[in-house]
Amino acid sequence: MQSESEQIDMGRALHVAVIMDGNGRWAARRGLPRTAGHRAGLAAARRIVERASDAGIRCLTLYAFSSDNWRRPAPEIETIFWLLRAFLRLETRRLRERGARLEVIGRRDRLPAVVLRIIEKTEAETAFGHGLHLRVAIDYSSRDAIARAAGCVSSAEPSVSWQTMRSLLLRALAGESGEVDLLIRTGGEKRLSDFLLWESAYAELYFTDRMWPDFGAADFDAALDAFRRRERRFGAVPHSLRLVQGGAR
């Protein structure tokens, strides 16, 4: 059993991003409609937000609805938005109690007005939280976000160096949430699906066959454990070689 401070140490300063995949298959295997999978997915999201907050994760980004998800049947889209509203309604008080802050990323101009209203309300009511920074990606496409950020940066700063352009782009895309350290995808597929492409350039990728509705605190901890066992080199040589070579250039 870990102490509270050990638990908080597990996730200190990390940005964890999650592609919550497998709701539909989870439901199909039980002979249920896909919407029942999304409903169970909502409960999983609530569990993981709680666990991330307890583990001292700095930023958690959840991929709830991609811009390509508009291609799904209208009743499924309606259910997902209904669940998103329920999530925000249910979570606001708990997020405040935990000192967490909610931010929604993605396009807002195509969202139903009722969804937009509750997003703005939840963001305002949690704005002063200094604990977990919870980001929920809705109508989100990383390629669109990169194209938009590049357009804004190049019209505001037309003649900057590439290096400055890179930092400005990262700031425009990620704000204070910064680059992704660990990207988890449930549901057995191994792809990024247009999620945080720039911000995940050096993310450690963790794929699990667990369907999202079955993903729990122990699975989240297992992903953090796997992350801690990885050596992050950011293109440099392994740490052990650096010591042997005495930092030779």
Choose which of 10, 62, 115, 180 interacts with ligand FPP (CB under 6 A). 62
Other beta carbons less than 10 A from residue 66's beta carbon: 19
Alpha-carbon distance of 211 to 23, in angstroms, equals: 7
Choose which of 8, 25, 116, 226 interacts with ligand FPP (CB under 6 A). 25
The residue of the chain with the least Cβ separation from ligand FPP equals: 24
Alpha-carbon distance of 173 to 193, in angstroms, equals: 17
User: Is 24 or 106 the residue whose CB approaches ligand FPP more closely?
Assistant: 24
> Between residue 189 and residue 248, which ones bind ligand FPP under the rule CB under 6 A?
none
Is residue 69 part of the annotated active site? The answer reads: yes
Q: How far is CA 128 from the centre of its chain?
A: 20
Interface with ligand FPP, residue 87, by CB under 6 A:
yes
Interface with ligand FPP, residue 40, by CB under 6 A:
no
Alpha-carbon distance of 185 to 19, in angstroms, equals: 5
Contacts of 142 (CB under 8 A, 6+ apart): 192, 194, 195, 196, 197, 198
Interface with ligand FPP, residue 184, by CB under 6 A:
no
Interface with ligand FPP, residue 139, by CB under 6 A:
no
Choose which of 16, 48, 55, 64 interacts with ligand FPP (CB under 6 A). 64
Place of tokens 């991003």: 17
Is residue 23 part of the annotated active site? The answer reads: no
Interface with ligand FPP, residue 52, by CB under 6 A:
no
Choose which of 11, 17, 35, 38 interacts with ligand FPP (CB under 6 A). 38
CA nearest neighbour of 117 among 129, 104, 135:
104
Other beta carbons less than 10 A from residue 98's beta carbon: 18
Stretch that binds ligand FPP, among 82-90, 92-100, 125-133, 170-178 (CB under 6 A): 82-90
Reading the block at residue 98, the tokens are 């935990």
Residues near ligand FPP (CB under 6 A): 20-25, 38, 41-42, 45, 62, 64-65, 69, 80, 83-84, 87, 136, 187
Task: Please list the active-site residues.
Answer: 21, 69
